Amino acid sequence: MRKNQDMLGEEQSGPLMADVARLAGVAISTVSRALANPGRVNAKTRAKIDAAAKQLGYTPNAMARGLRIGKSNIIMIILPGSLHYGASQIIPQVLQSINRSLIQGGHNLMIANLDRDEVSERHILDLAFGGTVRGAIILSSKLPEVDGRSLANAGFPIVSMLLDMSDAGFPSVVTNDREAVRDATAELIRLGHRRFLYIAGPEGNYHDVERYGGVVEALDQAGLTAEAVRRSGGNLDYQHGFEIGVQAASDFARLTDKPTAVIATSDDMAISFVSCVQRTGLSIPEDLSVVSFDGSPVCEFCSPSLSTIEQPVDEMGQAAVAILLGATGQMENGPATRTVIRSKLILRESMAGPKS
């Protein structure tokens, strides 16, 4: 860890001019001239210095440096993409929880992006390396990386939420996706179901891997094979949940050996699926039981009311803020922790035993 060079005793958490000089292989005075008066440094050397400064995220702005060493009270929230306006309002609910907790802790919330295209990624990194913020919470997505710059090197604490990144060295706050879906599937098996349709999120997505893993584990524990579950979806992200549910209803209609229970990885998928199959004359839960994931308030008012796994958004937001604020001001990062907050299954009218 670089020794503190700030006379007020606060940590230096961003790159120094000496770091740029070391990476570029030149003297500090050369870096200073190149940044202050580029015409006094030859083009080849300037290019090396520019590349090193960009890679490190170095800014010569004195005000930004002052903010970067810990004086800002702004916490940046990085969204996985544009806000979703379906029934599943997990991200807005999480934002509300985080905002309340930050205000109570004397900090302010900054939403850094509404997309994750290259322009937005650059903007996020400029905020991080420019000293505007003191820490970041990243929601359900990977760290921004552009042109050799990564948020991981911004020099402030980062907490991942809704995505386990503890193996990569970042404290993470998640829910027990796998266990929660395993328990919901086990309940369907207890009711007598033996054939299932799983409505999937995007293939390879962390949540989809965990949730489908829970289904498979429940089947295995009940002595059933993975052949007991058919999959639909997997080619669209969660923001297209209604579309995925419609497609799943079409896939269900084509099956000859019909499943008697459906496990959807979001409430949006389940809502549109139920609407479509009911139009074909099927009844929920008499002909088909349905359970989903998220715990959207609207599920209680669906017809029939929808069984769902409710995510603990308030508790997760509070935990993420507590971990982040606990890390600000520390000279050394502690071990990356994985904080798991349990979801709960809410049983409603959409689940029952299959027809005999």
CATH number for position 273: 3.40.50.2300
99-127 mean pLDDT? 92
Same domain, 199 and 247: yes
Q: Are 247 and 215 in contact (CB under 8 A)?
A: no
Q: Is residue 10 part of a domain?
A: no
- 146: tokens are 């552009």
Same domain, 129 and 216: no
Same domain, 160 and 188: no
Same domain, 298 and 257: yes
Question: How much is the pLDDT for 314?
Answer: 94
What CATH number is given to the structural domain containing 35? 1.10.260.40
Per-residue pLDDT tens for 198-207? 999 988 899 9
Q: Is residue 11 part of a domain?
A: no
Same domain, 189 and 297: yes
Same domain, 170 and 183: no
Estimate to the nearest angstrom the gap between the alpha carbon of 149 and the chain centroid.
Answer: 20
Phi, psi of 10, deg, nearest 5: -95, 155
According to the per-residue pLDDT averaged within each range, which of 89-93, 126-130, 268-272 is highest? Answer: 268-272
Same domain, 143 and 95: yes
Q: Is the pTM of this model over 0.85?
A: no
Q: Is residue 238 part of a domain?
A: yes
Q: Is residue 188 part of a domain?
A: yes
Same domain, 33 and 109: no
Same domain, 160 and 72: yes
Same domain, 135 and 181: no
Question: How much is the pLDDT for 19?
Answer: 84
pLDDT top residue among 84 and 343: 343
Which segment of 12-16, 101-105, 108-112, 330-334 scores lowest on mean pLDDT? Answer: 330-334
Question: How much is the pLDDT for 69?
Answer: 44
* Residues above pLDDT 90, as percent of the chain: 62
Question: How much is the pLDDT for 71?
Answer: 58
**Helices 43-56 and 28-36 sit at what angle, rounded to 10 degrees?**
100
Same domain, 275 and 326: no
Q: Is residue 352 part of a domain?
A: no
In this prediction, residue 275 has a pLDDT band, given cuts at 50, 70 and 90, of: very high
Q: Which of 253, 254, 247, 273 minimizes the C-alpha distance to 262?
A: 273
Q: Is residue 1 part of a domain?
A: no
Residue 239: what residue type? Q
Which segment of 4-8, 136-140, 327-331, 351-355 scores lowest on mean pLDDT? Answer: 4-8
93-111 mean pLDDT? 93
pLDDT at residue 59 tops 70:
no
Question: How much is the pLDDT for 341?
Answer: 96
Task: Report d(CA 287, CA 182) in Å as an integer.
Answer: 22
Same domain, 195 and 251: yes
Q: Is residue 119 part of a domain?
A: yes
pLDDT at residue 11 tops 70:
no
pLDDT at residue 30 tops 90:
no
* Last residue within a domain, chosen from 61, 81, 114: 61
pLDDT at residue 281 tops 50:
yes
Per-residue pLDDT tens for 84-96? 667 878 888 899 9
Question: How much is the pLDDT for 38?
Answer: 67
Count of domains in the chain?
A: 3
Residues 6 or more apart whose Cβ sits within 8 Å of residue 87: 241, 267, 268, 271, 294, 296, 298, 299
Which segment of 119-133, 263-277, 306-320 scores lowest on mean pLDDT? Answer: 119-133
Containing structural domain, residue 218: 177-311
Question: How much is the pLDDT for 60?
Answer: 61
In this prediction, residue 6 has a pLDDT band, given cuts at 50, 70 and 90, of: very low
Q: Is residue 6 part of a domain?
A: no
pLDDT at residue 278 tops 90:
yes
